[in-house]
């Protein structure tokens, strides 16, 4: 029972890699992509309900999310209408996130991606992007996603810089859960 959530997360990585072999936005691509989303939704709750949460599981989940985002960006690039401005913006977001990870590695001796509401909203927007692309203006949609992603990346960076202890489940910069120090 203890390995089931991690196996589900590993399944997401395998499914994400499978996306490379299908025509972007095809029915098969979207079906596999939605399965990736389902695995992302169920691995955490199963781990919490079964009492099998772990640092490894949290790190594996973050790695699976990063792999899925990277593969989707690679496969969907021609459909996103990305200008040089957007490409530079995406690199800036990535640089902020890498800096945040580096700070966590240095301060807390571990890879860390905080599960803030901002990061969850960014993940949701990124997740619906392939499904929403055919129903929206790619430039407007990409702008919205980049704004939210930038704000959530900066928020996580500020949390990593100012926190005295690692709090993977901290909900946000202004959210101070009871009995936990900032």
- Whether the per-residue pLDDT at 174 is higher than 80: the answer is no
Structure tokens at 109: 């001796």
Residues 68-103: tens digit of each pLDDT: 989 998 999 888 888 999 999 999 999 999 999 999
Q: What is the pTM of this model?
A: 0.80
Distance of CA 39 to the CA centre of its chain: 13
Q: What pLDDT, on the 0 to 100 scale, is given for residue 176?
A: 61
* Strand (E) or helix (H) holding 54: none
- Cα separations (Å) of 109 from 8, 102, 106, 146? 26, 9, 6, 29
Residue pLDDT, tens place only, 11-24:
999 999 999 999 99
And the tokens for 146? 């980049």
DSSP helix/strand/coil, 174:
coil
């Amino acid at each position: 029972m203890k390995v089931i959530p991690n196996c589900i997360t590993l399944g997401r990585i395998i499914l994400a890699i499978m996306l490379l072999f299908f025509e972007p936005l095809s029915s098969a691509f979207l079906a596999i992509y939605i399965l990736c989303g389902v695995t992302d939704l169920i691995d955490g709750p199963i781990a919490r309900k079964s009492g099998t949460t772990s640092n490894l599981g949290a790190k594996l989940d973050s790695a699976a999310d990063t792999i899925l985002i990277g593969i989707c960006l690679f496969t969907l690039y021609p459909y996103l209408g990305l200008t040089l401005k957007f490409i530079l913006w995406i690199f800036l977001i990535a640089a902020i996130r890498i800096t945040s990870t580096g700070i966590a590695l240095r301060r807390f001796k571990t890879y860390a991606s905080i599960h803030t509401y901002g990061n969850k909203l960014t993940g949701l927007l990124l997740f619906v992007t392939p499904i929403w692309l055919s129903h929206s203006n790619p430039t407007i949609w990409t702008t919205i996603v980049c704004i939210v992603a930038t704000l959530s990346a900066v928020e996580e960076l500020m949390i990593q810089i100012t926190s005295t202890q690692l709090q993977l489940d901290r909900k946000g910069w202004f959210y101070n859960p009871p009995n936990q120090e900032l």
